Structure 1
């Protein structure tokens, strides 16, 4: 008996945090439970009312499912020393309620968004969770500056009128939430983030990729403690499954102009307006699948108006929805359009980008992509408009019209849980969809994908094309950092894996190869300074001492390279570096803090002799010194303040 026990025990895994995370990541709700769950929670996953007492002023709402996991992750990340975090969760999972729960222990809270609809929805959520009436708005029409919980428009808050010590001190808010965090790289958001200094900053986004031309991960210290993507949300029945139909679009995109990597709108409008067969194909496929409320995403205002007119003329009551639409007889303002759609007066709304964010219409049962998919961020946002749970809705129908453009495969790859690189050309047979989902591709598309795969650029050509695209977008020669932050994710993954292609390991030589250096810069590249830059670019950050040593070479206040560095300055930087976030974990192979939390406020003794030398000599001398003595100094040499 004991032998059998030992045999079984050898197969047992300890139930620790790693195992629980793995289980959560792969768990799929049993099919027998799906229908009751969808029916029970048809109002959506933003809230879960577990009890209601008529004598109480507020319903009692508690976190559930993914929200519970995210709250645990946020609490843990604060214990590890982080003061910033980004939660990445699919649209409809309940990010706003999550923020309301997580901020409960704070005295003053700021919620920042760029649309009034988002602010009003957030105000309702925070009111329910915090059970308070002390919630105010700061926008063009409201100035509730003294509210405990302030819902602020980014446009209003970012003005000099409010970002000053007379109105808001830098530490006026304990907890700040930035909704739709993928916008946070914009100047208005940057101004707010640079001025305010909360105890904790929480970013919320379904798709935090480089939508604004630079990585937003840096704005939250690259700290993403919790993710729940589209596939995981559907598998848990937090979102509705989709039926995806990829339909061949015979529009010729090969001769269309591009600007900043995107098709020129005028070329798209001209092609769509002149193609009656395309409009007929869209109408035919719409009628093929049952739908009561649909949204069609168009390339431009003119395209949206064209489609609304064509559908209406063919017996499908429709409207175009876009800004400044008062002169268009087929267009409606957004609020009126939504109302008519929900009342059944309209069957389809054709829009450009107005429904990407901040609009919740749970009853949408069809979305149509009527223009080239060029951005994974926008595609997933628009898809999310129809994935919310709703009574009687079993799935979302997705009609995607795909033509002969470079990223024709993008949307299909984004829907697959088995494809890690969204921009990868994949075989249709490799796609692995979430539970309850299905896909169907026109045969012409399968042939098209193969042609694109065969004609794909070499990696070196791709890097050069990407450089010129970014140069055109930012209107100047990109710095090494700008090139990195604006680069497409898939290409970045490739060059980080293949060092022979990596332009960041010798950026001056890369620029020289493109003819981008002037004569003075060419001299610099071949000098001792150029060799020093190359040394830094190629130094692997595989030792705990290297990053603080490199940072000690920079005068942070004036943002210049120091021409001399003392041991004292270097150890001050060491102390600063390991005081941030969870960097202190690197001081020990076991990941423990070596009592760092106890002595990080002490003054450190360093050797008395100051080193003064040229930067290149400084680098090698200090690296050698720290490698030999650094950990010893940090762990053993300290003095009372």
Structure 2
């Protein structure tokens, strides 16, 4: 396991430097061996260490033997210690030592048996074998790492889990000659820390994002990983230039007045990170990407699939370096599972005008801001004794309305949004601190917490607005999936009515591709086993009726394509050519 490899890694590197031959055989039985542990070995030792899997995946491989052979002797340790921290440091383990000089025959017999296994019953762990193992690996039912919780240890900033795997793939990608790459990782995996770790071999670094709170949080992460580097900001208020790492607002740096030799030469930055890369098709992001010529450009996102998703991948030369979606991140134990409750909301969304595929905000407010609906939300909230809840609203007025309703019912709450503040709103940083301290139970937010904000202690999220975007839905869900002490799962309350494309929700929760054709023919139903391990999904029977009704009402293919053509025309601002239609067409429609 990763925890054990870290304990012996320096000694293995020292052995390598002395010219020792390093051979490792490990098993895949019951998924005990972590892929990140093997990635860590390969990353630090390269191809020098000969790492192999025992050939039979379904047979317990459990020797737990360590062989040291010297010119003038040798030792074999046989016993109960696996390579994990609790086994090597704190657990009750029994290991027996055989010395070559005293028990020569026994030593040679065990050594011969090792080489018999090595030559006849193993598979060499090259990059392809390791990637295949990682893709199908799930966290074992028993978590050995829990044995070392609650210890008084200082947290060291080092890559973990999926970050180790992604770093390995990023370095390999650069060796292969790529100067751009995209990492797709579920919210909560730690993409900012990943970027900080990967940037360490580069001197001048630029981090670009579209929100100030993302930049501030990223600066803290980079400072933890690169404490000696000088950090600066390039935004509306600051124009820092002579720094090792600059955190830039896309709204400022993306202006043409700053993209010139007076501020930055084209090759000024060695390494550029574009956070929330799904936004990168906008003009100011494109200005930055087209101007600078770094040694490497890294795109980070949890949700690359926009309606124009092909353009996102194109910006990184279609080089998806590493990918771990929500379902896999939960299955591998990097995020907590969710207990999702789809609650029937009798609000009639058919009366709300749809403009360019989105609900009219003012009309949407009117149907959402009624006491009957607020009471439904409050009663369902009170079913669960949760400490920290984030509730996503459609607008500032909606957030204020909900915060007022909850406070009047003795639930300490506030609203958080940008712009002019209201009676129940708080500054974002103040709200977060009160939230962490337990002074506030519920924060009603508008957009601000979709991206870049990490509060691991969140134990409930509530969706109080229609799901119009798969990207926004997954980002909001991801806000609460970060692992935290004493948090075993996230509770999700989703208030679902007859809004358009409500039947997207089961697909988003399961990670299964939304297939219009199969749905139209009623050939696909999402089953319980399709959801991530440990997750609970419960829809009110009336919501199931909404899903079925929407499936039956799906448009004919000609109408779907016509509506998609109109959308692309509005997006481009002119009549699309045929290749442009193919380029921007929604994947599900294609």
TM-score over 0.5 (shorter chain): yes
Quote how far apart the aligned CAs of 1:144 are: 2.2
Question: 2:477 and 2:156 mapped to 1: Cα distance?
Answer: 31
Shift of 1:71: 1.2
Task: Map 1:221-370 onto structure 2 (within 5 A).
Answer: 221-273=317-369, 275-326=370-421, 328-370=422-464
* Deviation for aligned residue 1:298: 1.1
**Native 8 Å contact 1:183 1:211 kept in 2:** no
Q: Deviations over 1:194-216 (max 9, x none)?
A: 11011110111111222778731
CA contact (8 A) 1:85 1:202 kept: yes
- Which residue matches 1:72? 168
Distance 1:29 1:431, change over 3 A: closer
Q: For structure 1, which segment, 435-444 or 131-140, has the greater mean C-alpha deviation from structure 2 after superposition?
A: 131-140
> How far apart are the structure 2 equivalents of 1:231 and 1:283?
30
Does the 8 Å contact 1:67/1:94 carry over to 2? yes
Of the three residues 421, 426, 434, the one matched with 2:514 is 421
Report the Cα distance in structure 2 between the residues aligned to 1:211 and 1:177, rounded to whole angstroms. Answer: 23
- 8 A contact 2:202–2:271 mirrored in 1: yes
Measure the CA separation in 1 of the matches of 2:204 and 2:313: 25
Q: Secondary structure at the match of 2:188?
A: coil
Q: Is the 8 A contact 2:229 2:244 kept in 1?
A: no
Give the distance between the partners of 2:424 and 2:235, measured in 1 at CA: 31
2:538 is equivalent to residue 440 of structure 1 = yes
Shift of 1:98: 1.4
Deviates more, 1:177-186 or 1:464-473: 464-473
Equivalent position SS for 2:502: coil
Task: Say whether 1:397 aligns with 2:491.
Answer: yes
- Partner of 2:559, secondary structure, is helix
Sort the Cα spacing of 1:431 and 1:300 in 2 relative to 1 into closer, same or farther, 3 A.
farther
Q: How does 1:394-543 map to 2 (within 5 A)?
A: 394-417=488-511, 419-421=512-514, 425=519, 426-429=524-527, 432-492=530-590
CA distance in 2, matches of 1:35, 1:82: 36
Measured in 1, the distance between the counterparts of 2:197 and 2:578 equals 40
- Tell me the SS of whatever aligns to 1:244: strand
Over the aligned positions, Cα root-mean-square deviation in angstroms equals 2.6
Pair 481,261 (structure 1): closer, same or farther in 2 beyond 3 Å: farther
Partner SS for 1:476: coil
Q: Deviations over 1:68-111 (max 9, x none)?
A: 11111112212222110000111121211211222222221111
- Specify the alignment match of 2:314 in structure 1: 218
Q: How far does the alpha carbon of each residue in 1:439-494 deviate from its partner, in whole angstroms, 9 at most, with x for none?
A: 111011112211111121122221111112333444432333543444322112xx
CA distance in 1, matches of 2:579, 2:426: 43
Pick closer, same or farther for the CA change 1:463–1:435 going to 2, 3 Å: same
Secondary structure at 1:491 match in 2:
coil
Aligned partner of 2:84 in structure 1 is: none
Q: CA deviation at 1:13?
A: 6.0
| Helix, strand or coil at the partner of 1:107 | coil
- Tell me, in whole angstroms, the C-alpha distance in 1 between the residues paired with 2:526 and 2:380: 21
- Distance, in Å, in 2 between the alignment partners of 1:84 and 1:415 is 30
SS class of match (1:217): helix
Q: Is residue 2:202 matched to residue 1:106?
A: yes
Query: 1:35, CA displacement in angstroms?
Result: 7.3
User: Any unmatched runs of 5+ in structure 1?
Assistant: 1-8, 42-48, 53-58, 493-641
CA distance in 2, matches of 1:110, 1:70: 20
> Of residues 29, 51, 60 in structure 1, which corresponds to 2:139?
29
> Is the counterpart of residue 136 in structure 1 residue 228 in structure 2?
no
Q: Give the 3-state SS of the residue equivalent to 2:461 in structure 1.
A: strand
Determine helix, strand or coil for the equivalent of 1:316.
Answer: coil
Counterpart CA distance in 1 for 2:406 and 2:176 is 56
The whole-number CA distance in structure 2 between the counterparts of 1:429 and 1:360 is 31
2-structure distance, mates of 1:409, 1:19: 38
**Structure 1 residues 406 and 126: alpha-carbon distance in aligned structure 2, compared to 1, 3 A threshold:** same
- SS state at 2:320 partner: coil
Displacement of 1:276 after TM fit? 3.1
Matches of 1:61 and 1:271, distance apart in 2: 47
Distance in 2 (CA, whole Å) between partners of 1:261 and 1:474 is: 15
Partner of 1:606: none
Going from structure 1 to structure 2, the CA distance change for 1:212 and 1:81 (only over 3 Å counts) comes to same
CA distance 1:79–1:422, shift in 2 (3 Å): farther
Offset, 1:179: 1.0
Q: Secondary structure at the match of 2:165?
A: helix
Contact between 2:308 and 2:583, CA under 8 Å: does it hold in 1?
no
Relative to structure 1, the CA distance from residue 10 to residue 404 in structure 2 (aligned partners, 3 Å threshold; closer, same or farther) is farther
Equivalent residues of 2:276, 2:302 under 8 A apart:
yes
SS at match of 1:489: coil
Q: Where does structure 2 lack aligned partners over 5 or more consecutive residues?
A: 1-118
Instruction: Please give the per-residue CA displacement for 1:493-540, whole angstroms capped at 9, x wherever unaligned.
Output: xxxxxxxxxxxxxxxxxxxxxxxxxxxxxxxxxxxxxxxxxxxxxxxx
* Deviation sequence 1:284-332 (CA, Å, 0-9, x none): 1111122111111111122111111111112212112112242x21222
Sort the Cα spacing of 1:317 and 1:82 in 2 relative to 1 into closer, same or farther, 3 A: same
Q: Does 465-474 or 23-32 show the bigger shift?
A: 465-474
What is the aligned length? 468
Alpha-carbon offset, residue 255 of structure 1? 3.2
- For 1:317 and 1:35, the matched residues in 2 are separated by 36
Counterpart of 1:560? none
Deviates more, 1:256-265 or 1:140-149: 140-149
CA contact (8 A) 1:37 1:237 kept: no
Q: Give the secondary structure class of the aligned counterpart of 2:533.
A: coil
Q: Is the 8 A contact 2:510 2:530 kept in 1?
A: yes
Compute the displacement of 1:366 (Å). Answer: 0.7
Give matches, 1:524-563, under 5 Å: none
